Structure 1
């Protein structure tokens, strides 16, 4: 089941993030680097709500399996954009969660009159790149040596999807 996050999900969401940090090397945080403060998660959920951004979670077997966040641009010149982050626990990948996330993201983006969705992805993360391309994202550029993982520089692609144009008013 995929739905917008609620404050009551804070502990389960944090636990999923901490698990994701240990299970994959394709996300921002290293194991034990993420703050473990549930209050910070509650504040983040509140901030997403106040800024009309989007934070979805997927749950299976009463467990949070992944998330998609879309943070809307807060300044006038970038209000038509959102920056996307997706994380799905490895044991739940390949089950259609990512596709469902992107279907809901598109509905939300159209409703909010967004015209640009953007994200970054490590160049070797072929599964994620395939998911993003399947959902209309295109590679726009390369961020060379943008991360260090296990002592090695990692490049990232900058990807974006342009949606139907809406009036800027």
Structure 2
């Protein structure tokens, strides 16, 4: 397993992996077939993130992209020490330490970039993800009521954070 920063030449394989994830999990933002990102869009996203020091990490196994962790970083001075993250791993590679490896990578990156706080949201019923985040030092800071639609029902999300 290799955890590394995304490169521009990863755009097509990364986008394909995201579309597979859309089919495999209900816990990420897009429903199957909803993602309209083109290859050109994905290249522009990667380029923007590289140029603006916004983390995008890939998990690669035997040359195949099987997971990701990406961040959103505020530009304003009052909040630019915060990083909001999202993580996803293909079903075939869950439970093998990749989530922890991706989280360790973003921890290392954040400390080198003077990030003071990492935050995320996670569906309350996603116990595996919640347990992973807790094991990495995240705390539940609140609940976003009815903030995510899952199988036609509105569910709650935890708002979790980690401060260095």
Same fold at TM > 0.5: yes
Shift of 1:35: 1.2
Aligned to 1:166: none
Where do residues 31-70 of structure 1 align in structure 2 (5 Å cutoff)?
Answer: 31-70=32-71
The 10-residue stretch of structure 1 (136-145 or 69-78) with the greater mean CA deviation from structure 2: 69-78
Give structure 2 stretches of 5+ with no counterpart.
none
State the alpha-carbon separation in 2 of the partners of residues 80 and 152 from structure 1: 34
Cα distance, 1:51 vs. partner?
A: 1.5
Given that 1:121 and 1:129 are in contact with CA atoms closer than 8 Å, whether structure 2 keeps it comes out as yes
Residue in 2 aligned with 1:92?
93
Q: Which residue matches 1:73?
A: 74
Per the normalisation by structure 2, the TM-score is 0.97
Q: Distance in 1 between matches of 2:48 and 2:146?
A: 31
Q: TM-score, normalised by structure 1?
A: 0.94
Cα deviation digits, residues 69-128 of structure 1 (max 9, x gap)? 122221111011000100111110111111111111111111111110000000000000
SS of the residue corresponding to residue 88 of structure 2 reads: strand
The C-alpha deviation readout for 1:126-163, integer Å capped at 9, x for no partner, is 00001100000000000000011221011100000001
| Cα distance in 2 between the residues matched to 1:48 and 1:11 | 16
C-alpha RMSD of matched pairs (Å): 0.8
Structure 1 ranges of 4+ moved more than 2 A: none
Bigger CA drift: 32-41 or 121-130?
A: 32-41
Distance in 2 (alpha carbons) for counterparts of 1:160 and 1:36:
29
Report if the CA contact (8 A) 1:71-1:84 is conserved: yes
How many angstroms apart in 1 are the aligned matches of 2:14 and 2:161? 26
Does the 8 Å contact 1:51/1:74 carry over to 2?
no
Using the alignment, how far apart are the partners of 2:16 and 2:63 within structure 1? 13
Alpha-carbon distance in 2 for matches of 1:68, 1:112: 16
